[in-house]
A and B are shown apart, each in its own frame.
Chain A
Amino acid sequence: DGGITQSPKYLFRKEGQNVTLSCEQNLNHDAMYWYRQDPGQGLRLIYYSQIVNDFQKGDIAEGYSVSREKKESFPLTVTSAQKNPTAFYLCASSPSGADLTYEQYFGPGTRLTVT
């Protein structure tokens, strides 16, 4: 898990409520990412940020929002517009989003259950 923390580990919400997942890193990495993992599927990119105050949509951004006000923090909000929010959410970081050889370091994940 390195220097990436995600909280909480388990999160339960009622349908129709927005919920924010926390991701913090102390690795001094420029780039941060949010992925979603569902059973039987590969990780899918939700949003990524290569630098503070800038972020880009990934492959499945609909129903999600992010902010990057500080280098070490990249919170993800799952809105009520997300049709199927129950999943395992993983945050990752890398020294640079542009360098092709840098690997991504993943946090421990947050399992969100919406009923």
Chain B
Amino acid sequence: KNQVEQSPQSLIILEGKNCTLQCNYTVSPFSNLRWYKQDTGRGPVSLTIMTFSENTKSNGRYTATLDADTKQSSLHITASQLSDSASYICVVRLLTGGGNKLTFGTGTQLKVEL
């Protein structure tokens, strides 16, 4: 069964600190992996998208890594800000099949405090 598991489920950090969120997947065959940020009560917004040949991609203070061999990804947030408080969702796309073949993780709820 294609699954995406994220850890931790929730995380609280102090403003200015760094943190790393984890994503493990069993989706196969793999096409690409995306990280989304979802503010409470809003739609998800894309942060990064990586194919199997890419092992790191940055978007400002966000850096995603991908190890396609171990089927693991991480999202590192540098110098966190209060506005980083949100749910971060890992999404994996199947290589085959028509239409939408996205498998969503349940997300990591991040809270940044003063």
Chain A contacts to B: CB under 8 angstroms? 1, 4, 31, 33, 40-45, 48, 50, 56, 58, 88, 90, 92, 97-98, 100-101, 103-109, 111
Contact = CB atoms under 8 A, between A and B. Distances in A.
Main secondary structure of the interface of B (DSSP, over half): strand
A111 B102 contact: no
A50 B99 CA distance: 7
A11 B99 CA distance: 29
Contacts, number: 62
B107 A42 contact: yes
Interface stretch (B41-49, B63-71, B77-85): B41-49
Contacts of A33: 100
Q: How large is the interface on B (under 10, 10 to 19, 20 to 34, 35 or more residues)?
A: 20 to 34
A98 B98 contact: yes
Contacts of A109: 41-43
B22 interface: no
